[in-house]
Amino acid sequence: MSGLREKILATATNLFQTQGINSTGVDTIVAVAGTTKMTLYKHFGSKELLILEVLKQSHQDFQNWLNVKINSNTKKPDERLQVLFDYIEEWVNTPDFHGVGFIKAAAEFPREENPVHQLSSEQSLQFRQYISQLAAEAGILDADGLALQLSLLFEGAMQAEQMKRGSGAIKYARTAANLLIAGAAKR
């Protein structure tokens, strides 16, 4: 990827996270990135395509970070599931946390037929499938059921932390997740 494309993408990511997607116009993006609309459209085609690329990159970056954390610090499958919310809490407590892209984008683009909403929904499902895979590897019989419960805790806590940093929601979500995991492991 070209350096200018990367700069536009990084600028858009920061602005979308801190100011909102719909509140951030193309004029603002190009001004902050120090480029032109023509260059932005050359690399992304439209604002919608830029939004989709930002969501894809942000989701992939988070998923890669989480995979590295879980897989490099734990070896046993049941431990990987147990530490999931520990690392999510670590991420939430970083200064760069501004919420979860797919949750925020789905709220800004509520119509189900909108491509941004569709991608957001797909990313939510991908994360739930990731949790389900961790649960299945840990020997949880109803891995999909546990994954749905844990993803609901995750999304709710992320929303609460986005609205009020330090709300404690992630701490209580982690406690609830541990109870759910322990209960599912006994079945």
User: Minimal CA–CA distance to 170: which of 187, 183, 153?
Assistant: 153
Which backbone phi and psi does 46 adopt, to 5 degrees?
Answer: -165, 165
In 106-118, which positions are buried (b, 16+ CB within 10 angstroms) versus exposed (e)?
bebbeeeeeebbe
Identify the segments of the chain with pLDDT beneath 70. 1
- 48-186: what fold? Tetracycline Repressor; domain 2 (1.10.357)
Assign 3-state DSSP to the chain and report helix, strand, coil percentages, each to 5.
80, 0, 20
Q: What is the pLDDT of residue 1?
A: 54
**Per-domain boundaries in the chain:** 1-45, 48-186
The pTM of this model reads: 0.90
pLDDT of residue 73: 84
The per-residue pLDDT for 96 is 85
**CB count, 10 Å around CB of 168?**
11
Q: Exposed e or buried b for every residue in 55-68, given b needs 16+ CB within 10 A?
A: bebbbeebeeebee
CATH of domain 1-45: 1.10.10.60
> Tokens 């700069």, residue?
7
Distance (Å, whole) CA 51 – CA 13: 8
